[in-house]
Amino acid sequence: MLGLQHYTRHELEAVRAAGETLEVKVLGLVSIADDVSPELALETIASMEVLGTFRASPAVKAALASRIQST
Question: Which tens digit of pLDDT belongs to each residue from 31-60?
Answer: 999 999 999 999 999 999 999 999 999 999
Query: What is the domain range of residue 53?
Result: 2-70
C-alpha distances in angstroms, 55 versus 4, 5, 19, 49? 11, 10, 25, 13
Model-level pTM? 0.91
Domains: count for the chain: 1
The 10s digit of each residue's pLDDT in 5-36 is: 999 999 999 999 999 999 999 999 999 999 99
Cβ 61 vs Cβ 54: under 8 Å:
yes
Evaluated on CA atoms 71, 15, 7, 42, the torsion sign reads negative
Measured CA to CA in angstroms, residue 67 lies from 14, 15, 54, 57 at distances of 21, 17, 13, 15
